[in-house]
Amino acid sequence: MQDNKNAAPVLQHQDGQVETGPASQAGPHLHHKDTTPAPLGQAVKISDFLSTGEQNAIPLRHLWDLLHLPARTIRSMIRAERMSGTPILESSKATGGYYLPGNDHERARCVQSLRQRAAEIVKVADAIEGAGI
């Protein structure tokens, strides 16, 4: 698998056709630089399927199409990689998706968004806890 995270994503279809270019230009299907499945026994890492920069974010549904794993499992894998030190970011754009940071600003923006979401969850939990039955 290629290590160049800045390369344009490549999609290889089952019929052998290959597409290249930013995810925003390649159409409504998976935009990935290498769709070769991992050899048996080799752990799959979500970060291996991601590109650098928010403009290249890969939606969860495309990861699901590629990996044939439940969305919950993919989210769990993303969490595990994050907890082990891989900075997998979430896009704040309407199209959503996951990507590797292209710069410190993208990383800081994602951290801020996650902290805001966590604060909102705590507020809701506090409200429910304080509500009468």
pLDDT one-digit tens code per residue, 90-112: 998 877 899 999 999 999 999 99
What is the average pLDDT across 104-122? Answer: 96
Q: Is residue 109 part of a domain?
A: yes
Q: Is residue 26 part of a domain?
A: yes
Check pLDDT > 90 for residue 132. Answer: no
Q: Is residue 5 part of a domain?
A: no
Closest residue by Cα to residue 31 from 39, 7, 77: 7
Residue pLDDT, tens place only, 74-88: 999 999 999 999 999
Q: Is residue 51 part of a domain?
A: yes
Q: Is residue 20 part of a domain?
A: yes
Pairing of strands 10-12, 98-99: unpaired
Integer angstrom CA distances of residue 70 from 34, 57, 106: 20, 19, 27
| Number of domains comprising the chain | 1
Question: Could you write out the DSSP letters of every residue in 64-75?
Answer: HHHH---HHHHH
Question: By residue range, what is the domain housing residue 68?
Answer: 10-130
- Output the pTM of the full model: 0.66
State residue 110's pLDDT score.
94
Closest residue by Cα to residue 123 from 115, 111, 112: 115
